[in-house]
């Protein structure tokens, strides 16, 4: 395990401190939060932690089953206590870009049903202005090129359909992912999200605004905890 992966593991495990017995927990997707899922499984087996989880992707569902986390359907519970997830970028206002793993729709549904959100990330994800990471946008397969052209016109940047070999990447919901290469210039992520959502053919946008409360950040010097001043979690 290299240094980056070791720091990711530390951050993923640190996020588990926010999980208590009796909670309904959203289980995110990605290379950092997988360590959270593994640790929660250990806590259930060894420490007697009692929780139920809602996975945000089929990959997380598979991992949660493997480590022994009881799972429920989101529609069968009245909201979640917390979701722990990763991010592709975050800015000083705790606004996020997510969707690099093509799970943004499920991640966003779970996030909006959660009473709090903890994000685990490494230092490479910390930016002053969002957009260096291409903005993922989930779109319908029907007339997807037309949708992509419209998004490109709105954002005034190159937008491409994410591919796997010669074929478009298919999300867990049967949709495609458009990646918008905005560059680091998304200074008003709320407005950007609103404008993109007006496009017929757009299912959801990988901007997670006013959702994140705490960021567990893995840096060279170790793990730090960043808390949004007006967030829903108070340490």
Q: How far apart are CA 19 and CA 50, in angstroms?
A: 10
Q: How far apart are CA 76 and CA 22, in angstroms?
A: 16
Question: In 3D, which of 85, 121, 124 has the Cα closest to residue 211?
Answer: 85
| Beta carbons of 125 and 100 less than 8 angstroms apart | no
| Beta carbons of 176 and 139 less than 8 angstroms apart | yes
Catalytic residue among 39, 107, 138, 193: 107
State the residue for tokens 């918008």.
Answer: 180
CA 63 to chain centre: 16
Radius of gyration of the chain (CA): 17
Q: Is 17 a catalytic residue?
A: no
Cross-strand partners of 126: 90
Residues 6+ apart with CB under 8 A from 65: 71
| Strand residue runs (E) in 126-231 | 135-139, 158-161, 163-164, 167-168, 176-181, 202-205, 207-208, 214-219, 222-227
Helix (H, G, I), strand (E, B) or coil at 155: helix
**Could you tell me the maximum CA-CA distance found in the chain, to the nearest angstrom?**
54
Hey, which residues are catalytic here? 107
């Amino acid at each position: 395990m290299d240094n980056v992966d070791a720091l990711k593991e530390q951050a993923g495990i640190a996020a588990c401190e926010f999980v208590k017995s009796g909670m309904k927990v959203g289980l995110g997707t990605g290379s950092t939060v997988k360590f959270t899922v593994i640790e929660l499984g250990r806590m259930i087996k060894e420490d007697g932690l009692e929780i139920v989880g809602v996975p945000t992707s089929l990959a997380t569902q598979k991992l949660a089953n493997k480590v022994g986390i009881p799972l429920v359907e989101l529609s069968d519970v009245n909201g979640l206590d917390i979701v722990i997830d990763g991010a592709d970028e975050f800015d000083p206002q705790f606004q996020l870009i997510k969707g690099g793993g093509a799970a943004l729709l499920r991640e966003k549904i779970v996030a909006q049903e959660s009473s709090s959100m903890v994000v685990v990330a490494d230092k490479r994800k910390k930016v002053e202005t969002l957009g260096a990471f291409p903005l993922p946008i989930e779109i319908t397969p029907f007339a997807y090129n037309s949708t992509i052209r419209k998004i490109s016109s709105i954002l005034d940047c190159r937008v491409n359909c994410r591919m796997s070999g010669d074929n478009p990447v298919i999300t867990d919901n049967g949709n495609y992912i458009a990646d918008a290469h905005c560059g680091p210039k998304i200074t008003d992520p709320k407005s950007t999200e609103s404008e993109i959502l007006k496009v017929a053919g757009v299912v959801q946008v990988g901007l997670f605004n006013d959702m994140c409360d705490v960021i567990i950040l893995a840096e060279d010097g170790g793990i730090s905890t960043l808390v949004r001043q007006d967030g829903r979690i108070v340490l």
